[in-house]
């Protein structure tokens, strides 16, 4: 599948503070391409629902996940190790388009499929050692809109400080200071019955290959 390599809309910006900046494009691809891609990714990728150990207890992750990237790339998160075998044909054009749009290089992708509003992602930062000291993270969304919320990592008031509705065909780029100073989450949402796919592109450092 070929995709448009130029974003359909200009970027918007929001400064969270402490040098942390969000940049997002409300529409990356033509709408018909994005809708077709959503259906393809839902059916073609090997979605799984893993279990993780947290404080000695096993928990089922409240969403489906998949991991892809350049052959040989390894990534460990939440106690799980993933080894990429190469970009699937369906993802390569999208990967290239996102690199062109953002001007950043990404060698791997963590996918999340939220089946409805009961699926969620808790507060965390994409700051694992495999990502290096200054990771750029690109997040592409397909499907129903869900709120993407942020809060400071430290301080006396670790409350939500910004909420960004991420809708269908929207691309978000987070600069390194976002992971250094903030956490993000995708909360549950009552009444949401449609699925959402989020593809988070990042670059694993060479020492972990």
- pLDDT one-digit tens code per residue, 187-205: 999 999 999 999 999 999 8
Q: pLDDT of 33-57, one tens digit each? A: 999 999 999 999 999 998 877 778 8
Confidence of residue 209 (pLDDT cuts 50, 70, 90): very low
The response to whether 112 counts as a known ligand-binding position is yes
Q: Which domains does the chain have, with CATH numbers?
A: 1-42+60-71+84-115+130-152+161-209 (2.60.120.590)
114 labelled as ligand-binding? yes
Q: Residue 76's pLDDT band (boundaries 50, 70, 90)?
A: confident
202 marked as binding residue: yes
Beta strands in 46-193 (DSSP E): 51-54, 57-60, 64-69, 74-77, 80-83, 108-114, 121-124, 137-143, 146-152, 162-166, 170-174, 182-186
200 is in an annotated binding site: yes
77 known member of a binding site: yes
124 annotated to bind ligand: yes
Q: Give yes or no for a contact between 91 and 106, defined as CB atoms under 8 angstroms apart.
A: no
Please give the average per-residue pLDDT across 170-176, as a whole number: 99
- Ligand-binding annotation for 196, yes or no, is yes
- Give pLDDT, residue 206: 66
Query: Which residue, 105, 121, 128, 129, is CA-closest to 185?
Result: 121
184 labelled binding-site residue: yes
Q: Quick check: 125 pLDDT over 60?
A: yes
Check if the beta carbon of residue 118 is closer than 8 Å to that of residue 17. Answer: no
* Chain mean pLDDT for the chain: 92
The annotation status of 75 as a binding-site residue, yes or no, is yes
Q: Is the pTM of this model over 0.85?
A: yes
């Amino acid at each position: 599948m070929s995709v448009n390599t130029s974003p359909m809309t200009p970027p918007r910006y929001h400064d969270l503070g402490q040098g942390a900046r969000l940049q997002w494009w409300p529409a990356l691809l033509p709408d018909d391409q994005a809708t077709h891609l959503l259906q393809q990714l839902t059916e073609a990728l090997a979605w799984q629902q893993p279990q993780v150990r947290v404080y000695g207890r096993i928990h089922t992750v409240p969403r489906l996940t998949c991991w892809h990237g350049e052959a040989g790339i390894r990534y460990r998160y939440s106690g799980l190790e993933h080894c990429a075998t190469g970009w699937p044909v369906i993802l390569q054009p999208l990967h290239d388009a996102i690199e062109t749009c953002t001007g950043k290089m990404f060698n791997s992708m963590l996918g999340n499929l939220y089946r409805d509003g009961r699926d969620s992602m808790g507060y965390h930062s994409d700051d694992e050692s495999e990502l290096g000291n200054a990771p750029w993270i690109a997040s592409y969304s397909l499907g129903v809109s869900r709120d993407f919320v942020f809060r400071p990592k430290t301080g006396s008031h670790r409350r939500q400080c910004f909420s960004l509705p991420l809708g269908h065909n929207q691309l978000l780029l987070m600069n390194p200071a976002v992971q250094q100073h903030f956490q993000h989450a995708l909360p549950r949402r009552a009444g949401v019955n449609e699925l959402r796919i989020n593809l988070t592109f990042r670059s694993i450092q060479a020492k972990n290959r």
